[in-house]
Chain A
C-alpha cells in the first residue's frame, strides 16, 4: 500500500466514523426509536434479520430479479446499440422509443407493470426499462467515438473487417460500455427495491421494508436498508474490478 492509498483509506474511514457519529447523536437527540433508531439498535436488528430462516431466500430473490433485469437489458441494449451505432437510420428509428422510455416516471412504469404482469416479474420488467436507455446510449456513443484516423489506418492496411470489429471497435466501446454498466448496476438495486415495495412479492427486500414500515419497526427498515447498501456495494466493487482489468493498457503500471 503506497502513501496515497493509505491516505485515501484514512479519509474514507474518518468519513464513515463521522457518519456514524452524526447518526448516533441524531438518534440520541430525537430520542424516539420509531423515528430514528440508533446504530446499535439497527445493528441488533441486522443480526436478527441475518439469522432469520428466510434471510437468504429474501435477498436471493431480490438479487435474482436484479441480475435478471440487468442481464436482459444488457443483452438487448448492447445488440440494439451496436446496430444503431453503425447504422444511422436505425438510430433515428429507435430514438422516439428510447426518449419515451427515458422520460416516463419510474412509478408510472411500476404501476403499469403491476397491472400487466404477475408480481415477481414486475421488478425485473421495471429494471429492464430503466437500465436499457443508459447502456444503449453508452454503446452508441462508444461506436461514434471510435478514433477515425485509427479506423482509416486499419482500412488502408487492409485489415479484415472481422478483426477490425474485434480488435479496434470492441476495445474502443469497452470503456463506454463499462461506464454504462456501472451506472446501471447502481440504479438496478434502487429500482428493483422500489418496484418490490409496490408489487409485494413474497420474498423481497422491498416487501420486508414495507413490513417494517407497517409494523412501526423502523429499526428493521434501517437494517434492510443496510443489507441493500451492502448488495449494491458488492456489485459495484465487482464492476470496478472488471473496469481495472479491462483497461490495463490505459492505467499507469
Chain B
C-alpha cells in the first residue's frame, strides 16, 4: 500500500504518519518504508490485537 493511501485511510498528518511508519519498522512489524507491508510479526500482532478487542467486547468493556 502506498503511503498516501495509508494516510487517506488513517486520516493522520503525513509527518506524524512517517514517524509511526519508522516506529513500526524499528519494531519489525512492517517492512519497506516506501510500500509498507506487514511482516509475520506484524500479522501476529494484529491477530493478538483482534483477540484482545474481541475479549474486551465480550467482557462489556468499551474501547475507542
Q: Are A and B part of the same complex?
A: no
Interface positions of A (Cβ within 8 A of B): none
